[in-house]
Homo-oligomer: A and B are copies of this chain.
Amino acid sequence: MELSVGGEYGIVIDAVGAEQFAWLRERAYAGWVLIMDEETERYCLPRIERYLGSTPLVKIVVPAGERHKHLDTCKFIWEEMFRGGVGRRWCCLNLGGGVIGDMGGFAAGTFKRGIDFVQIPTTLLSQVDASVGGKLGIDFYEVKNSIGLFANPQAVWVDAGFLGTLPEREIRSGYAEIIKHALIADEQQWSELRDIKDIRGLDWPAVIERSVDIKRQVVLKDPFERGIRKALNFGHTIGHAVESYFLHREDRLLHGEAIAIGMITESWLSHETGDLSAAALDDIRDYCLRVYGHQHVPEASFPVLLDLMRQDKKNDTEAINFTFLEKPGEAVVNKTATADMITRSLAYYNSLGS
């Protein structure tokens, strides 16, 4: 199955194999750069190694984890590319999760003013989220993705087979973006997902394809995030702040776990200050708690969370921007909420823990 993005590149949702590499070979690059982290080198490279053949190859392995998504690692990648003799007519293959896709894409997009690259996302989160939309970058000045650019890959190869290399908690984390995509744009998928008791039994290629397609359609309408693309921020204003806050604690949350808290609190705001019905709020709340459980957010953290929301790069003014739900399957962008209401939404969330 192939989805096309603006006619510019295709997202292939299929096992990565001979077909994709034949397509790549046809493009006659002078060589390939393969960027991985220590984890994906060990667990994911074996799935594609046999297809690499005799094309000149420069392998670059970086340490795993978001904390390495910074300028020094990027500099190391650029240096390795120079040391390996990489030229303008090479193609970069980014094999890994969001960190590798974002940073490897940024390194490729700026090397000699930009060489081609192909994304091979290996986590559920990167398959349904980072693989579409052309956002590339690194963390800088302790701000996530604060140095980067928009550039499209030549292709994205989404292979659900890589999910077998992931711990279940990682898969559940990525699944939050699938819930989000359904909530903002696909009422039908949302009602189907709600009936799923155990995500381990999901038909992943089908679920991923539908979710990627939602994001693809939103991004096509608004590639530079000037309007409707902000719908994708649903759950992320509060969710990102919660994620940042827990980052430095023992009991840190994965991205999707924080976004689940964001989806509950922002649904509450959508209900209290907007049009979301009480029944829909209850459905979202129940489903997110069922999948993600409950994590108490200390009251002492609320002012810190508010500060983090104000610093978010989407906020230029004092008011904090949100994407609200009107109903499941329909989002509305450019809404705001007061500090008081945000605090109350967090108190609501805490009240759900028994």
Contacts and interface: CB of A to CB of B under 8 A. Distances in A.
Nearest to A82: B141
A113 B149 contact: yes
A75 interface: yes
A111 interface: yes
B82 A146 contact: yes
Given A87-B313, A316-B88, A110 B141 contact: no
Contact of A313 (B88, B135, B148): B88
Q: How many copies does the complex hold?
A: 2
A75 B87 CA distance: 25
A82 B313 CA distance: 11
B145 A113 contact: yes
A313 B112 contact: yes
A79 interface: yes
Nearest to A112: B313
A89 interface: yes
Given A71-B75, A75-B71, A140-B78, A109 B149 contact: yes
A103 B254 CA distance: 36
A259 B71 CA distance: 35
A101 interface: no
A113 B148 contact: yes
Most buried by B among A79, A110, A141, A143: A110
Interface in A294-332: 313-314, 316
A274 interface: no
Nearest to A137: B113
A71 B70 CA distance: 13
Nearest to A89: B316
A147 interface: yes
Contacts of A52: none
Contacts of A78: 140-141, 147
Interface of A: 30, 71, 75, 78-79, 82, 87-89, 109-114, 135-137, 140-141, 143, 145-151, 313-314, 316
